[in-house]
Structure 1
Amino acid sequence: MNDSFVLTRSSLEDIELETRALTEPLPTNQLAYKAHPLYALERWLTKYQVLHPKGPILGFCKGYHVYPRTCVQTVKTKERWLREGLQVKANELPVKELKPSMKTQKLQDFEADDYECTDSKENIKLYGSWQLEPLNLPHAMNGIVPKNERGQVDVWSEKCLPPGTVHLRFPRAFSVAKRLEIDYAPAMVGFEFKNGRSYPVFDGIVVCAEFKDVLLEAFAEEEQRRQAEEKRRDETEALRRWYQLISSIVTRQRLKNRYNNGLPSEILTEVQHVNDKESNATVSDSYGNNETPQNQQLNTSDNNLDLKASISTHTKEHEHVFLKEYESFDEETSLLTKRCQCGFSVQVEEL
């Protein structure tokens, strides 16, 4: 009930305001006519507005004729009317001409025109809605798309399409049509501004209506084939990377096993012998040896130094010789093991 009351009250207020506007006298201030809903002065019209018809005259304000707001008409260029699916009738003269402006205007501006941003010195010709008729474009015949002088179709809206044609926007449409040898025309859908200049924007193609299903089926097949090829390429790349990772792990483990466990047996025996002597010395000291713990620690460090010196000397002076009779080959791992008489061994992978 509250909603209905609000709506009823709002409707009554609108009716009252309209009644006042219709019954009130003509304003005496010129600025009041600039945006007045009922009356207009010719001096406050914009450059894209004219009076048609120029009458009746309702009165005067400071010497200027007062006209009804319904007489104010918006005029546009031929190109602007084409975007709405309308064309200028034959032998119609422009109702207004403007001098070209050097100032670049934005595309979103209602009064701006893309064709005004050119360097042409000709006047801009404007036409009114009473000079127009529905757009009459040539029909598509024998599978040939009618094109303009630039070899394309201006698709400002669906009304701008030539009869018997369709606008296809799927990706790579031109390549599919070219592969099937079907006549097509690039679809120019607007302009974009960069660095003070306007550039055409293309989106899709225009083809005859009878080729629409054929092109869509061909695109679906090509898209399916492209996705399968992309999937196969991704799987191949994944397998390659997995093989590289596993090969790196195997090589790292092989090098670790080879060089961590590759000390000669004689050096290992000497190390074990020194360890045994240290343990025996520790036991004898526990049964009455007069040496202090500090002396025991010094003896142990001396033994370690002697062991390191012997190992380094043995490694530097000894020259490994790998004889044929000491070689062994593992067929499962394809590894060839070469051994020296000192006990040192080396594994080589046979390719």
Structure 2
Amino acid sequence: MQKLPEEYFHLVREALRDDRKVSARKRRKRDSSPREDEHSTPQVVINLDSDDNGQVSDSSHSEDTYDSEEFEDVPEPTPTGPTSDISFTLDASKNEPKQRAKNVVSPEEKKFRRYYHMLHLLCLLVHGYIRNEWLNDQKLHKKLSKLVPDDVFDLLHPPKDTEMPLRSTRKLLDGLKKCMDIWGKHFKHVTSEGINGLYMMKWDDLNGPWEQPVREMTPKLFSRMVISGHGNRNIGAQGFVAMLRACGVNARLVFNAQPPDFTDAKLFSKLKHENEIEQPLSETKLGGRRKKRGKAKKTDNEDEKYPIFWCEVWDKVSKRWITVDPMCQKIIEQIRNRSKLEPQGKFRQHDILRYIIGYDRKKGCRDVTRRYVLQYNSKARRRRVTKDQEGLHWYEKVLHKLHKRKRTRIDDFEDEYFVTRDETEGIPDNLQDLKNHPFYVLENDLKWNEVLRPGCKECGYLRLKNAKSTMKVYKRKDIWILKSAQRWYNEGRILKTGAVHAKVINSKDFKTGEKIEERLYPLEETELFVPEPLGPHNEVPKNHYGNIDIYTPSMIPQGACLIESPVAVKAAAFVGVEFAKAVTGFKFEKHRVAKPQITGVVVSLDYREAVEAMIDGIEGSMEEEKRRDHELEGLQYWNLLLAKLRIKQKLNARHGVVRENQGMSWDEEIHSGDEDLQNEGFSPNPGGFLPEAGGFLPGSENVTPVDNESSEDAGGFIVENSNDNQLNQNYLEKQSSSEGRMRQEHGITSEEEKGAGSTFQGIEEPEDDNKNLELDYEKFMNDFDESESPANSNQSVSDSEYMYESE
């Protein structure tokens, strides 16, 4: 058998390749399977399998093929090397935003809770301030001082023992112990009325129901309850402070303010709240649950173990404040480590020491939370509004308003004690408490603009349970805060000569947005900016923009002053003195635009009074101009009102008062008008409109002549025969012409006209009606001008009244 040439085999291979290529072409079908969950991550897996002949087939599609003219045959490139199976995965999921947890409130709700917390705290502080004023009543002191015998009074004022100072302190403690026993015998009737409202409430409890006081507390009622020894524990503690003040003891009223916790970001438990409301109803039906209600009352009494109000007494010998709780725990202590008044365990649900305020007898107000909270910086500070600078500024401002006395040596001793408490608190033992701690910081928690001071050493270590390595803890004072040269200049400082940067970061140029390297410097590498002095003729130094930068008071040149006012530039230019526009900041806008904020001018001290006097004059003239504009606008409204009233009065005097259909609605009035028209022979057009008509029928019952003197029952307009002859003539001509046209349009004969009566009387053509309206308007204006002219008036008319009449 003769062998075929090799070229034939080559042609057969190419034909087979083309057939396989055409059969492999197919269109991807849409997936008709149900969609998966929206939160699932869609993935596309493509497997490319190569056969022995080097052909690649897509196994992800079905084997169905079809013919289509949209495809064209393309020669397949020959493989250059060995092929193998290829498998890769494409993740088609998009970067969806992280969903907020379901049990966490929204940012708006967090903001609301913070402001509500501040408002509640402010009300509580004012409440304590008012109660402290009531304790200084002299009449109350006279009656309470009789409860303390002379021997106990001597113990409250012990002489100073130079040999053993502790003896004097011991005598004071004995006197306080006896005073507490005396007060316990006096204040016997202790009630629970109004005691739960001062404990911390959950956000669910704010929806109510709230405990309403039986009667309003007044100073007289408060004094009567203290003297009679009847009231709740808070009034008892306040009365004990009043008794000590009556004996001349420097006693301070301490108030544990308990506003709602704004750091609690949990949602309201509506279902739980509904169950609590329905529970008392079920307890009334089932006798077995009454015992549980008794247990609840017992837990309430246990919660009252920790007081809201207590007392502090100043010890002159030891220079310390002594804590006295006369009502709840009945203890006397000098706090050194942990206070017995700090709630522990389950009692922290409604009583957390965060804001403890002391009110003294001289109307002083101080925050003494540091004395009673052991872990103040790591625990309590995070629950206070003072954890950020904005809240700290607000809190200090409130305390400053409530503090009415000068600073004394007692405040200095107390501040020293607080510093000692901060030092002895120690390093927190967990990461959460170390975050944003005011005295300690982890090396891993350093920010991008913070570095360790060279040569500093760690003050401790922190090792987690599951971690093998330990983390170093440094003191906050060993951390340098770095800023760029421009930032330091905005704070009134410049770099020293030969300053060395401590860190280099990558940032973007503000104008171009390009990436640049920015050097950061610590405070130690800067110095205070010294501005240039004034010129020989009091010229103010300016920059290349023609302004002067005043970001801090230290940047004002010597012998010059800054005058801030919106019209300062105008006033200085009007006076004609040397000045420079002061740039005190920048306003950053979109598209990388920074606009300088010019708030005033810098002038020499010699020109200060002249510029300020000119500013006062310009502001006064602007206020006067604004007042005149406001007055002119008011006069214009009065002018319009008076003109309307006069027009209404003249129309009523000439044509009578229009009678309104009282007791009839708009729809009833329209239907009554339709019935009258149908009775007279008219019917509405198919479009719902009536034939065009104008004027009133002389013989109609709806028009009644009205006398000017009696116009109560009058309505419509009246044709006066004496003065309107021309108007009556035009009216008759118009009536006759309109009647003829209506006869022609509707084909009505004379006989039908007799039967219809006066059906077509009063129908007008639009053209004639316009002429008639022009005549009416001209005559009305002529009569109005004649009656209102000053010549025809017997009374004198002022210029302003004539202006209103003419308008």
Q: TM-score range by the shorter chain?
A: 0.5 to 0.7
1:281-300 equivalence runs, <5 A: none
Structure 1 residue 147 and structure 2 residue 542: aligned?
Answer: yes
How far off its partner does 1:116 sit?
A: 6.1
RMSD: 4.8
Task: Confirm or deny: 8 A CA contact 1:192 1:201 kept in the other structure.
Answer: yes
Quote the offset at 1:216 in angstroms.
1.2
Code of the residue aligned with 1:187 in structure 2: it is A
2:522 counterpart of 1:128: yes
Mapped pair 1:224 → 2:541:
no
Q: Pick which of 12-21 and 155-164 moved more.
A: 12-21
Give yes or no for the alignment of 1:97 onto 2:504. yes
Name the structure 2 match of 1:5.
322
- Aligned counterpart for 2:478 among listed residues 71, 74, 84: 71
Match of 1:54 among 437, 452, 455: 455
Choose which of 263, 266, 284 in structure 1 pairs with 2:720. Answer: 263
Corresponding residue of 1:341: none
More relative contact order, 1 or 2 (CA 8 Å, 6+ apart):
1
Write out per-residue CA displacement over residues 68-124 of structure 1, whole angstroms, 9 at most, x where no aligned residue. 6543222211222223332211222322211115xxxxxxxxxxxxx7686254311
Shift of 1:58: 7.5
Report how many residues are paired: 266
C-alpha deviations, 1:228-273, integer Å up to 9, x for none?
A: 3333444444444444443444444445555667521599xxxxxx
Taking the aligned partners of 2:423 and 2:646, their CA distance within structure 1 comes to 91
* TM-score calculated relative to the size of structure 2: 0.28
Q: Does 1:138 align with 2:569?
A: no
**Contact 1:137–1:162 (CA under 8 A) maintained in structure 2:** yes
| 1:215 corresponds to 2:611 | yes
- Aligned twin of 1:45: 446
Contact 2:582 2:602 in 1 (8 A): no
* Cα distance, 1:132 vs structure 2: 1.7
Aligned to 1:316: none
Aligned pairs for 1:200-349 within 5 A: 200-208=595-603, 209-258=605-654, 263-265=720-722, 333-334=790-791
Q: CA deviation at 1:129?
A: 1.6
1:191 touches 1:198 (CA, 8 Å); kept in 2? no
* Residue type of the alignment partner of 2:486: E
In structure 2, what is the Cα distance between the partners aligned to 1:222 and 1:190? 25
One-letter code aligned to 1:145: V
The range that moved more, 157-166 or 227-236, is 227-236
Q: Give the match for residue 167 of structure 1.
A: 562
Quote the Cα distance in structure 1 between the aligned partners of 2:790 and 2:425. Answer: 104
1:189 lines up with 2:590 in the alignment = no
After TM superposition, give the deviation of residue 140 of structure 1 in Å: 2.4
Partner SS state of residue 516, structure 2: coil
Q: Which moved more, 1:164-173 or 1:185-194?
A: 185-194
Opposite residue 144 of structure 1, the aligned amino acid is E
Q: Conserved in 2, the CA contact under 8 Å of 1:167 and 1:204?
A: no
d(CA) in 1 for partners of 2:322, 2:719: 100
The offset of 1:160, in angstroms, is: 2.8
CA contact (8 A) 1:188 1:201 kept: yes
Contact 2:530 2:555 in 1 (8 A): no
Note closer, same or farther for the CA distance 1:265–1:51 as it changes in structure 2 (3 Å cut): closer
Amino acid across the alignment from 2:490: R
> What amino acid maps onto 2:620 in structure 1?
Q
Change (3 A) 1:67 1:251: closer
- Structure 2 counterpart SS, 1:47: coil
Q: Percent identity?
A: 24
Secondary structure of the residue aligned to 2:624 is helix
Alpha carbons of structure 1 residues 96 and 249: separation in structure 2 relative to 1, 3 Å: same
Amino acid in structure 2 at the alignment position of 1:223: E
The amino acid across from 1:213 in the alignment is E
TM-score by length of 1: 0.57
- Determine if contact 2:584/2:599 at 8 Å carries over to the other structure: no
The structure-2 alpha-carbon separation of the partners of 1:144 and 1:332, relative to structure 1 and needing over 3 Å to count, comes to same
Other structure's SS at 1:123 match: strand
Taking a change above 3 Å as real, the CA distance of residues 99 and 8 of structure 1, as seen in their structure-2 partners, is: farther
Q: Tell whether the 8 Å contact from 2:568 to 2:601 is kept in structure 1 after alignment.
A: no
The secondary structure found in structure 2 opposite 1:212 is helix
Find the aligned partners of 2:431 and 2:636 in 1 and give their Cα distance. 82
Return closer, same or farther for 1:33/1:173 CA change in 2, 3 Å cut-off.
Answer: closer
Q: Tell me how far apart the structure 1 counterparts of residues 550 and 563 of structure 2 sit (CA, whole Å).
A: 11
Unaligned ranges ≥5, structure 2: 1-250, 252-310, 313-320, 324-332, 336-369, 375-417, 463-468, 656-716, 725-756, 762-785, 793-804
Matched, 1:82 2:489: yes
CA distance in 2, matches of 1:75, 1:147: 29
The one-letter amino acid of 1:136's match is V
Distance 1:75 1:117, change over 3 A: farther
Kept in 2: contact 1:33–1:40 (CA 8 A): yes
| Structure 2 counterpart of 1:126, one-letter code | L
Which range is displaced more, 135-144 or 148-157?
148-157
Shift of 1:217: 0.5
Matched residue SS, 1:222: helix
**Structure 1: 5+ residue stretches without partners:** 102-114, 268-304, 310-328, 336-348
Change (3 A) 1:205 1:120: farther
- 3-state secondary structure, aligned to 2:519: strand
- AA of the residue aligned to 1:204: T
For 1:125, what is the secondary structure of its paired residue?
strand
Deviation, structure 1 residue 46: 2.8
Cα deviations by residue, 1:251-303 (Å, 9 ceiling, x for unpaired): 44445555667521599xxxxxxxxxxxxxxxxxxxxxxxxxxxxxxxxxxxx
> Do the aligned partners of residues 205 and 331 (structure 1) sit closer, same or farther apart at CA in structure 2, a change above 3 Å counting?
closer
Within 2, Cα distance between the matches of 1:122 and 1:136?
Answer: 29
Taking the aligned partners of 2:589 and 2:569, their CA distance within structure 1 comes to 26
SS in 1 for 2:618: helix
- What is the CA distance between 1:138 and its match in structure 2? 0.7
SS at match of 2:572: helix
Q: Quote the Cα distance in structure 2 between the aligned partners of 1:16 and 1:251.
A: 84
> Structure 1 residue 157: deviation in Å?
2.4
The aligned residue for residue 340 of structure 1 is none
C-alpha displacement of 1:196? 6.4
C-alpha contact 1:82 1:160 (8 A) present in aligned 2? no
- Give the Å deviation of 1:11: 5.1
1:5 alignment partner, SS class: strand
